[in-house]
Amino acid sequence: MLMNRPPTNPLMRNSTSLTLLAKLKEEHALFILQETSDMLKQEANLVDVKSPVTICGDIHGQYYDLMKLFEVGGSLNDNCYLFLGDYVDRGCFGIECLLYLYALKLSYPTKFVLLRGNHECRHLTEYFTFKRECLHKYSEHVYEACIDSFCALPVAALVDSKFFCVHGGISPELNTLNDIATMDRFREPGSHGLLCDLLWADPVSGFGEEDKPNSLVPPGSTFLHNATRGCSYFYTYAAACQFLERTHLLGIIRGHEAQDNGYTMFRKTPTKKFPSVITIFSAPNYLDVYHNRGAVIKYANKNITIRQYNASSHPYWLPNFMDAFTWSLPFVGAKITEMLLAILSICSEEELTEEDSSEEEESRALADASISPADYQQRRQQIKNKIMAVGRMQRVFQLLREESEAASELVATEDISGQPTAGLRVGSDALSVQGNQISRNIRSFDDARRSDLMNERLPVFEVDTSPSGSPTTMFPPPSMRLPSRRASSMGEGLNMEMLIKKTLEEDEDDSPIVERLAERIARGRRVTGRPQPLKRHETT
C-alpha cells in the first residue's frame, strides 16, 4: 500500500506522479490493524485536540486525493490532523487509505486523531464496496480486523474547547458532552440512538431560514425525521444554537455531505456571531462524477482558513473490482441473443400481420405428417415456446447489461418522493462507442447529487443464506453504488443459473414483435413428425 520510493515528506507519497502502490503483505496489514485498534481503544469517546490543527472531511477511498490533502494540509512540525470519518467505501482505494492513516496514527499518535464515520461499520461496508475490496485484495480475515478497528474509533472531538467536531451532527439525546463521554461506542451502530445520530444526522434543508414564511419546517422545531437518510434526524438552526449555548461552544464542524466547493458555512449564531455549523468534505470529484472541489479547515492562532484543492488522477478499476472478461459477458450475451432473433426474423412486418394459414393447408400438412391435430398443436406450441425463450433470454442479458453499467456510472433513479430525477439514461445503447454517457448526462454537482440520492440512505436488506442463493463469480453482482433493480425485485443473492431459470419459466413477454414472430414461425414451419435421434456414420 505504501509507495515504492521514499518520500521527502512523511505524509506525502508523490500523488502527482501516479507511482504504483506496492501491496502490503497480509501479515503486515493485520499487524497495522491490530496495533491501531489497541491504540484507539485507549482513547476517550470525546477526544481533546489542541490547535494548530487541520480538520479533514470524508475521504471515501480516494487515496490519491488523500496525498493531495497532505500537500495542502501542511507538515507535522507545527500541525496535527483531525479526520472526521468515512475513510472507506465508494472509492476504489479504501484499504489503502485506511492502512496508510492507521500507519500514520501508529507513527505519530498525538499528531493524528481519527473519528468514526457512518461508513465505518459492517452494514454499509457489506452493502457498498469495501468488503468486496478487502476480499479482492486480501481476505475476510483482513476485513474482520477492519471492522474491529472501526468499533474502536472515537466518535467526536473538541478543538481548543471551542469546536464540536463530529461526522454527522447532534442528537435530541445529546444534552451535555458527558452523554458522549459515558456512551458505549464499541459496537455496530443501530438505526437510532445517540451513536446513530452522531454519525448520520444532517442540518435541515434551508438551515438558518426556518423562520421565513416559505419555510417547510414547522415553527419551533428542533429535530425532524431524516427521510433522506432513512434514519436519525435533521437538526434545525434552533437546535444547533441551543446545543452550543448549553455546552458553551463556538461552533459545530462536521462532514458527511458532499459539498460543491468542498465546504459550507451555515448561518452564524446570534450571540457569538460565528457559523453555527461548518460542513467540510475532502473527497474532490467524488465518485469521479461530482465535479466538486475538496477542502480542509486549518485552524491556528484563533484563525480559521479554508484550503481547497482539485482532484488528482488515479488508476482505473472496473466496478466492484471485476476483471474485464467478467464485466463484458452480459454485453456479449445480449449481442448473441440479438443475432439469434435476427436469424429467426425471416418474416417481414407484413408477413407477421398476415392471417392464419387456411384450414386446407393445415389439413394437408397433418395428412402428410400422419399426426393428430392435438399433436400438431403441441408441436406448434413447442416451437413457439422456444422462440419466446430466445426473446426472454435477450431481456435477461439486457438487464445484466444495465446492471453492469449502473455499477460503473450513476443512473437515473427516484427521490424519496417517488419522482424521477436527472441522471444517466440506461438502455440497450447506453454504453457504446459513440461517447461516454456520463459526460453527456451528469454535467454538474447538482446532477450527480440527485442521481446519487438513494445511496445516501441507510440500506435495508436481508442476506440470502440459502444454498440456492450462493453468489456467483461468472456474472457481475448488482451495483454497489445504486440499489439494484434486479435485486430489489427478485431478491438478493440471485446467481446466473437462477436468473435464467426464472426468466425461461415466465409466461408473459413484453415484446409483441417477438411473440408475433414466434407465432408466425410456428405456423409456417412444415410439420415433419416427431424428431428422430441423430444417426452415427462411420468415416473412412
State the DSSP string of 480-505: SSS--HHHHHH-TT--HHHHHHHHHT
Q: How confident is the model at residue 2 (pLDDT cuts 50, 70, 90)?
A: very low
8-22, 29-43, 90-104, 133-147: range with lowest mean pLDDT: 8-22
Give the torsion through C-alpha atoms of 157, 161, 162, 167, to 10 deg: 10
Active-site amino acid positions: 119
Task: Pull the grid cell for residue 380.
Answer: 406448434
pLDDT at site 317: 82
Q: Cα Rg for the chain, rounded, in angstroms? A: 29
Task: Pull the grid cell for residue 92.
Answer: 476504489
Q: How confident is the model at residue 28 (pLDDT cuts 50, 70, 90)?
A: very high
Q: What is the mean pLDDT of the chain?
A: 78
Task: Pull the grid cell for residue 86.
Answer: 468515512
Segment 245-280, tens digit of pLDDT: 999 999 999 999 999 999 999 999 999 999 999 999
pLDDT at site 321: 81
Place of cell 468534505: 281
CB count within 10 Å of CB 27 equals: 7
Identify which has the larger pLDDT, 510 or 163: 163
Q: Nearest CA to 122 among 99, 137, 140? A: 140
Whether the pLDDT of residue 328 is over 70: the answer is: yes
188-197, 313-322, 414-423, 504-513: range with lowest mean pLDDT: 414-423
- Return the SS3 of 87: coil
State the DSSP string of 29-69: HHHHHHHHHHHHHTS-SEEEE-SSEEEE-B-TT-HHHHHHH
pLDDT at site 381: 74
pLDDT at site 414: 42
pLDDT at site 488: 38
Rounded CA-CA distance 437/442 in Å is 8
pLDDT at site 430: 33
Contact indicator for 500, 396 with CB cutoff of 8 Å: yes
